[in-house]
Amino acid sequence: MRDEPVLQGFHLTRSFGDGETRTYALRDVSLGLKKGELALLMGPSGSGKSTLLAVLSGLLEPDSGQVLARVDGDAVDLWKLTPRQREHFRLKHCGFIFQGYNLFPALTAEQQLEIVLRWGEGISGREARERSREMLSLLGLSKKCHLLPAQLSGGEKQRVAIGRALIKNPQFVFADEPTSALDWTHGEQVIELLRIAAHERGATILVVSHDHRIVPFVDTVFHLEDGRLQEAETPVDVPPPGVRFRLEMPP
Amino acid sequence: MSYTLTTLWHDRQRYLPGILAVAFSALLIALQCGLLFGLLSISTIPIDRSEADVWIGPQKVLSVDTGQPISESKLVSRVAGIPGVTHVEPYIQRFSFWEKPGGGTDLCIIVGCRLTDDSIGPSKVLPQELRDRLTEEGSVVVDESELERLDIQHAPALLAQGRFASAKINGRPVRVVGLVKGMRSIAGPYIFCSLFTARSIMKLGPDQTVYVLAKCEDPAMAPRVVEQLKSSPLQQEEPDMSVFTKDEFSHKSRMHWLLKTKGGLALGYAAALGLLVGLVVTSQTLYAATMASMREYAILLALGIPRWRLRWTVVTQAFWIGVFGVLLSIPATYLLGELATHLGVKPLLSAELMAAAALITLGMAMFSGVIALRSLKQIEPVNLLR
């Protein structure tokens, strides 16, 4: 399934500030993610993990370097697109899960998903509702469709956030610390759902986290330190069968 | 229910200041205009209470109480000849000076009209008994609320004894033979009298009048009669003549007072202040609400939802805040209007005025939504990653 990379970053560099205050969040980073791959990006605070996720997902422009995405048989240079084209690219192909749940307090679980389909793709209310219920059902929330975020547990809220990211059936999913606000029982459920989304739905998923307990569930682990990709350290946890670690070297 | 309405209901406490600000603005505009229009309507009571459909007056007449004398006989006979006109009669209304019994003078408005039952002038506001008393030369009737201004506070006591208070108008002696209610005026008290007495006070000749009033078979014919009069040879013969329908003349007189008294300016200023308060509070409410949902909006932007969709959401919220505010203002306006009426100032809250206040305030609410859009400029999805 995973032969050619479908999302590649080449020599990505990103700095913040000017002159003497300039600091580099990314220094010549290159990596590739394959279709159906669940990848984990680890590193200490300030190592540039979130910056790399933002650059790869089309949210933050790099100072230099290239991001190539292969969609529908075409290679798209993400940072050569106009802002509107990039917005459209994200609409069609990207899902996001951020730290915290970021759910509208006034909307029910199914409305949180519906809104993405109706506002993004102009899908009718009825179809959007059906697809949202179907997705929530897959996430084990069929009985919680009509509940507001305040009536859901932390784990349930994060599952709704995952549903919102997956409802468009995106080719790429970017998750920033998706388990940080959860206890491990719920965190494990979340990462398992992401693994299923990658392996069964064929989504390419990049997870940024400092949570080592995730490591056994992922296909690939990238380590970032001081803005550079490092060779992976031997994980403390024993990886389950089939899990492998790989260090992507710049081409 | 739409996502916007769901959000407004869920976060009603957050949006309440905006709704109240809109309601306050709408109430202020409607009530202030209503009070002013109510006040101005007093100046046209003689027109509005008359049964005349067409008013013929002197050239360039500015308002009902500023007319100059015109010739009666020629006009009355020619106007009566217009098809559709069923009744014609002279009517006198002009400013004059009331000489107070205790000394000093004050402005007053002489209202001289026919006193017969078939009169189309404003004499019907007076009961038959008072109209009978006015047939005697030098007899006048005034509003009971104007006694102090006219310096005849003793008039009711004298009337109870069958006697009359005396004064002078324009040097001519008059007797107050009766009192009437609800005929207050802005500029000067109305002095009701017969045409004969009015001519005598105004020192007019027997063929002079200030207006000629005409009644049509059907009030709807009034505009056609006015057009006919304007294009008739009479207009060439009497270039000093102005012709209006009852409504036109009433409107013209009110507008004259509105502009002359600078009431319009004061009204516009106060209404603008009300709108400004509404604008600031509503836009700040929407701004704060949008900023509170910054992270949720940011994730929608990350997911590729176009920014215009979020702008539309904020403007839609503003629209609904406007609608709820206006709905809230309607009963409040009528309630305060009733209170003002009890206090002696009756606001004129017409459906047109209420609709205009609602539309202006709704426009203000939408504009406040546009101002609040600056909050969306600060929302960048990448900020969620820092």
Name the token pair of A159: 């599952």
Considering only CA atoms, give the Rg of chain B: 29
The verdict on A147 touching B (C-beta cutoff 8 Å) is: no
CA distance B358 to B369: 17
Tell if the CB–CB gap between B295 and A89 is shorter than 8 Å: no
Question: B98 forms bridges with which residues in the sheet?
Answer: B106, B169
Closest CA to B67 of B89, B34, B92: B92
Distance of CA A18 to CAs A23, A24, A55, B229, B286, Å?
A: 8, 11, 19, 84, 36
Q: Is A59 on the interface with B (CB under 8 A)?
A: yes
Going by the DSSP 8-state scheme, the letter that residue A58 receives in this structure is: T
Inform me whether the C-beta atom of residue B269 falls under 8 Å from chain A C-beta atoms: no
Q: What is the tens place of the pLDDT at every residue in B125-151?
A: 888 889 999 999 999 999 988 899 999
Query: DSSP secondary structure string, A165-198?
Result: HHTT--SEEEEESTTTTS-HHHHHHHHHHHHHHH
| Nearest alpha-carbon partner for A77 in A92, A95, A65, A87 | A65
Instruction: Report pLDDT digits (tens) over B300-341.
Output: 898 889 889 999 988 999 999 999 999 999 999 999 999 998
CA distance A8 to A69: 6
ipTM above 0.85, yes or no: no
Which of B6, B295, B302 lies at the smallest CB-CB distance from A90? Answer: B302
Residue ranges per structural domain of chain B = 3-42+262-385, 60-239
Residue reference for tokens 């590729």: B304
Nearest-neighbour CA in chain A from B308: distance (Å)? 10
Instruction: Kindly indicate the confidence band of residue B385, based on its pLDDT and cuts at 50, 70 and 90.
Output: confident
Q: Give CA separation, B122 vs A152, B39, B201, B212, in Å.
A: 74, 19, 19, 13
**Mean pLDDT of the residues in chain B:** 87
Residue contact A87–B304, C-beta within 8 A: yes
A57 interfacial to chain B (CB closer than 8 Å): yes
Q: Does A76 touch chain B (CB under 8 A)?
A: no
Residue B191: its pLDDT value, please? 93
All domains of chain A, ordered by start, with CATH? 5-230 (3.40.50.300)
Contacts of B299 in chain A (CB under 8 A): 96, 98, 102, 164
Closest CA to B377 of B281, B308, B320, B282: B308
Summarize pLDDT for B205-225 with one digit per residue, the tens: 888 888 999 999 998 989 998
- pLDDT confidence of B175, banded at 50, 70, 90? very high
Query: What DSSP assignment string belongs to B125-156?
Result: GS-HHHHHHHTSTTEEEEEGGGTTTTT-TTHH
pLDDT digits (tens, 9 = 90+) for B254-280: 888 888 777 777 777 877 888 888 888
Q: Do the Cβ atoms of B93 and B190 come closer than 8 Å?
A: no
Which chain A residue lies closest to B308 (C-alpha atoms)? Answer: A119
> CB B385 to CB A103 under 8 A?
no
Interface touch B381/A88, C-beta < 8 Å: no
Strand order in the sheet with A74-77: A23-34, A5-16, A64-71, A74-77
Continuous H helices in chain A: 49-56, 83-93, 109-121, 125-138, 154-166, 184-201
CB contact under 8 Å between A105 and B10, yes or no, is yes
Q: Which residue of A has its CA nearest to B12?
A: A106
Closest CA to A90 of A124, A45, A118, A120: A120
Distance from the Cα of B327 to chain A's closest Cα (Å) equals 23
Least confident of B235-244, B249-258, B337-346: B235-244
Q: Which of B56, B345, B329, B302 is nearest to A116 (CA)?
A: B302
B128: CB partners within 8 A, 6+ apart? none
pLDDT of B200 reads: 93
pLDDT reported for residue A245 = 34
What's the one-letter identity of residue B208?
Answer: Q
B100 or B230, greater pLDDT: B100
Which candidate from A88, A106, A111 shows the least CB-CB separation from B304? A88
Q: What distance in Å separates residue B336's CA from the closest CA in chain A?
A: 35
**CB atoms A96 and B299 under 8 Å:** yes
Whether residue B11 and residue A164 make contact (CB cut-off 8 A), yes or no, is no
Residue B311 sits at the chain A interface (C-beta within 8 Å): no
pLDDT tens-place string over residues A140-174: 888 999 999 999 998 899 889 999 998 988 999 99
The reply to whether residue A107 touches residue B304, judged by beta carbons under 8 angstroms, is no
